[in-house]
A and B are shown apart, each in its own frame.
Chain A
Amino acid sequence: MDRDTTEARFPMMRLPMKQALFTVLALLISACAQQPPVMGSGDLGVVIERASGSLQIINTSDHSSLARVTGLGDLSHASVVYSRDARFAYVFGRDGGLTKVDLLKQRIDQRIIQAGNSIGGAISQDGSMIAVSNYEPGGIKVFAADSLQLIADIPALTSTGHYSKTVGLVDAPGNRFVFSLYEGDAIWVLDMSTPANPQLQKFNGVGKGPYDGLITPDGRFYIAGLFGEDGMAMLDLWHPQQGVQRILDGYGKGSEKLPVYKMPHLEGWAISGQQAFFPAIGRHQVLKMNMADWQLGQRITAHGQPVFVMSQPDHRRIWVNFAFPDNDTLQVIDVETARVIHQLTPGKGVLHMEFTPRGEQIWISVRDENRVDIYDTRTLQRIATLPAQAPSGIFFTHRAHQTGL
């Protein structure tokens, strides 16, 4: 369904007339035309079509596309969080756009441009607030989830008086948000438990160039990847007074760091029991760490530089995609043996993957083939495919109920 048809058919119409027409149409639709069927949203999701500023609303039960919603602006690097009723998708665009999309009415509910250049966001534990991470001007803005009214504006002013890009923004228990300052070499914790009185706790000197961050699914540990260091910065949110600790220091020792053609993503770190699997930056390796002592366990040689390292919901296998120029390939790692057990070549531009809530399928966006491929995670066979325009991120509604997603 293309939401642009009215626009296309009456391009010359002036605004008041167009608005009148929209009102009439809206009345007509609500009065008589087809009532959308009553449906839940637990098996819905969105596929970002980044080059065309649109998204598709999809259904994972019957592998169908329900609608295309257009007019979302620049969606390079777009990401999505869901309202806790899993009805609304909040889409964070590169151009500072924050768009609230109604999955059930299959249209934009509200859209604002809140900054010049942004990089993703998070929803608070209670679902009442949306935080957005901005590059330009560097900082965090917090909005009411229902109205998109601004609640708090937190500029990322570093100790040297410069604005820093903010990265790795996640939600944490207690209506807190945690994020890192790329130029500021810092991790900040923003406590929004009293929205009228935001509290900021700053941890400086965490290491050079934090480029992304994640929070463990239990909401306890925040970990920032460091571009300029051979290690990561970890904050235990149960014991913040202990400060930020360096973990995995020197994890790259003994192998030369290669140029990085795409920054790895830490979101959705594959945590499987006491083991965590994550991308080595600048190396053709997936690293395995023991969460009990934060020590490096093993280096798993991979096809290229990993971008996303994602665990199946059953934690039995890890799926990995790669940076340019190896972005036509996916590898599957068996957790028990820490071995690559399968390799797929879906096509050029494998940008993202997403598991269905209980993990029987994985959806894979293949940008240059204009396809979303759906694989059975048990047989590793492709079971369906959907056309999409240069698809990038895929986000299913079960994210609504997971800390850090």
Chain B
Amino acid sequence: MIANAALAEVTAQRRDSIAYTVQQDCGSCHGLTFAGGLGPDLQAERLQSIPDDYLIQVIKHGIPGTPMPPWQRFFNDEEIQWIVTQLKRGSL
């Protein structure tokens, strides 16, 4: 439900730009195909068992003491929910 609402709220143009940023700039640590790099594998298959809430918190606030940075400066809550949904669908 939340995911669908979020989808509607993130405009198509903004979606393209977020998708590009996620692929390129998350990709620099997690791999362009999200197969993993310095940061772990973020492919749909592995993410299925990880709760949305956790993923959202991690993306929003980062993981202190590790290279995973916080992204709330660049994406709002709806957008982060959208990223998580798309990652879990394997459609980014």
- Contact: A74 with B28, CB < 8 Å? no
* Residues of chain A within 8 A of B32, CB atoms compared: 50-51, 74-76, 94
Instruction: Tell whether A182 is near chain B: CB-to-CB under 8 Å.
Output: yes
**What is the number of residues of chain B that contact chain A, defined by CB distance less than 8 Å?**
19
Contact partners of A94 in chain B: CB under 8 A = 31-33, 35, 37
Assess A228 versus B29: contact at CB under 8 Å? Given A135-B36, A325-B74, A367-B24. no
Q: Chain B residues near A263: list those with CB within 8 A.
A: 28-29, 38, 67
* Choice from B37, B67, B69, B70 contacting A119 with Cβ under 8 Å: B37
* Contact indicator B36/A259 (Cβ below 8 Å): no
Q: Contact at A77–B24, with CB atoms within 8 Å?
A: no
- In the complex, whether B9 has a CB less than 8 A from a CB of chain A is no
**Count of A-B contacts judged by CB separation below 8 Å:** 58
Contact B74 A165 (CB under 8 A): no
User: Restricting to A326-371, which residues have a CB under 8 Å from any CB of B?
Assistant: 349, 367
Interface residues of B (CB under 8 A from A): 21, 24-25, 27-29, 31-33, 35-38, 62, 65, 67, 69-70, 74
A41 to B9, CA, bound (A): 54
Q: How far is the CB of A307 from chain B (nearest CB, A)?
A: 9
Interface check A22, CB cutoff 8 A: no
B37 and A77 contact, CB distance less than 8 A: yes
Other than the known A263-B29, A324-B28, what 20 A-B pairs have Cβ atoms closer than 8 Å?
Answer: A74-B31, A74-B32, A74-B35, A75-B32, A76-B33, A77-B28, A94-B31, A94-B37, A117-B31, A117-B35, A136-B36, A211-B38, A259-B69, A260-B69, A261-B69, A262-B28, A262-B29, A263-B28, A263-B67, A324-B21
Closest CB of chain A to B69's CB: distance in Å?
4
Binding site for B on A (CB under 8 A): 50-51, 74-77, 94-95, 117, 119, 135-136, 165, 182, 211, 227-228, 259-263, 324-325, 349, 367
Q: Which residues of A contact B74 (CB under 8 A)?
A: 325
Whether A76 contacts B28 in the complex (CB less than 8 A), given A117-B35, A117-B37, A136-B36, comes out as yes
Smallest CB gap from B35: residue in A = A117
Cα distance A117–B35 in the bound complex, in angstroms = 8
Q: Tell me the smallest distance from the CB of A81 to a CB of chain B, in Å.
A: 20
- A121 CB, min distance to chain B CBs, angstroms: 15
20 A-B contacts (beta carbon < 8 Å): A50-B32, A51-B32, A74-B31, A75-B32, A76-B31, A76-B32, A76-B33, A77-B31, A94-B33, A95-B35, A119-B37, A136-B36, A211-B38, A228-B65, A259-B62, A259-B69, A260-B67, A262-B25, A263-B38, A263-B67
Q: What residues on B are CB-neighbors of A349 within 8 Å? A: 24
